[in-house]
Structure 1
């Protein structure tokens, strides 16, 4: 007797093909080599935690569309390594600022970071994983993204150091002004600094992650006289050819007329 042909779930097959599969050992190697290129001495536990974050991002992304990037290796490069690329500059700025107050200060202190428009935790959650002394306030008004941040912080054991604010930055209340503030693909420099003023002091080290230098120069002209760009650092992200820059800004304590 001839058997009827098996029914194939075309949607399941299509869904399976649409989900890129990357060998975890390959991702681990890519992350380890990327950290070496960035001169970051992350522990095996911290790298494993970053890979677990990547797993969570892929899992949630299939349902909630947190990022347009689907390929795990590209997620690692364009999200994790891109975020980690700013860490040396932030650590140096924080340590120098602390040393200017206390010459005997060390990196064992607990710095605080405000990440405005954190999205899927970029760069704030990634930095909190890789920088174990850091406390981070992540501001993200989009409900599904804020839920992802809370769940990820809980699963990664970071709830004690990471606080998620599921609201607009204008509604955020902090216990104290942050030591560091940063944004990535959030808004113009003028909008970012304007929103930051009620939360930051002149001692807050302020950074913005940007792509093209021309974009930075164009946005610089719209800055309030109270804000100045003090440095533009070119970033080299392992595995990424696109231009990346880290803009450092300072706020004057002068009262404008």
Structure 2
């Protein structure tokens, strides 16, 4: 079992590798979130990742890898599970209104406890199917949640006209691109280099057609 010091070293190495500068105390709060997730996971099986060091790399650092592409004042994280990438993004870049959406009751209970215990201002959790969520958001994140076609069909109504949709994928989603529905366009596909995480990672940046670049 890794000590907190070892986890902190791993997290700081990952943040440095990504070239990020985070606010003071962010590392401590990210580790507090990881510790809370590990504690709840022992009972509620919120994530298949069990090893704390793997949680740091595959959950925290992987989530932070998209931080340079996040924009706007409001963000919805769809299919957030135990808060990924929404909670790491909230800790690393505070001041944004963030809605964490998941249909699983025990995951949403965990999210509400994390928001309370970590004092995450401006962050709220909703137990809902994506297609039933209301409102519009400047930025939408979705991590391994569904195909591009499905996630836009279910949640496309949530994106503002000039908003940016950030879909986190493993391998390059070549076969999914043709399924992007009318009214949306793929603006960019970035290959992400996430330290200590095996396999490919890609970020698909989507916007509404006929509007600004958004990133």
**Pair in the same fold by TM > 0.5:** yes
Instruction: Say which of 132, 136, 144 aligns to 1:171.
Output: 132
Superposed CA offset, 1:151-193 (max 9, x none): 00100001x310101111122223xx21101100100001111
- Correspondence 1:22 to 2:2: yes
Q: Distance in 1 between matches of 2:210 and 2:150?
A: 18
Shift of 1:135: 1.9
The structure carrying a bigger strand percent of its residues is: 2
Q: Secondary structure at the match of 2:179?
A: coil
Output aligned runs, 1:96-115, within 5 Å: 111-115=73-77
TM-score, length basis structure 2: 0.94
Maintained 8 Å contact 2:26/2:92:
yes
Instruction: Say which of 183, 206, 213 aligns to 1:249.
Output: 206
Maintained 8 Å contact 2:149/2:180:
yes
Shift of 1:31: 0.8
Shift of 1:69: 1.0
Q: Which residue of structure 2 lines up, in the alignment, with residue 195 of structure 1?
A: 154
TM-score, length basis structure 1: 0.79
Q: What is the CA RMSD across the aligned residues, in angstroms?
A: 1.4
Q: Which has the higher contact order (CA 8 A, sep 6+)?
A: 2
Q: Secondary structure at the match of 1:133?
A: coil
Q: Distance in 2 between matches of 1:88 and 1:250?
A: 16
Output aligned runs, 1:27-176, within 5 Å: 27-90=7-70, 94=71, 111-158=73-120, 160-174=121-135
Shift of 1:44: 4.1
- Rg larger in 1 or in 2? 1
Shift of 1:221: 1.4
Maintained 8 Å contact 2:23/2:93:
no
Q: Secondary structure at the match of 1:88?
A: helix
Which runs of 5 or more residues in structure 2 are unaligned? none
Q: Distance in 2 between matches of 1:89 and 1:171?
A: 26
Q: Distance in 2 between matches of 1:31 and 1:163?
A: 25
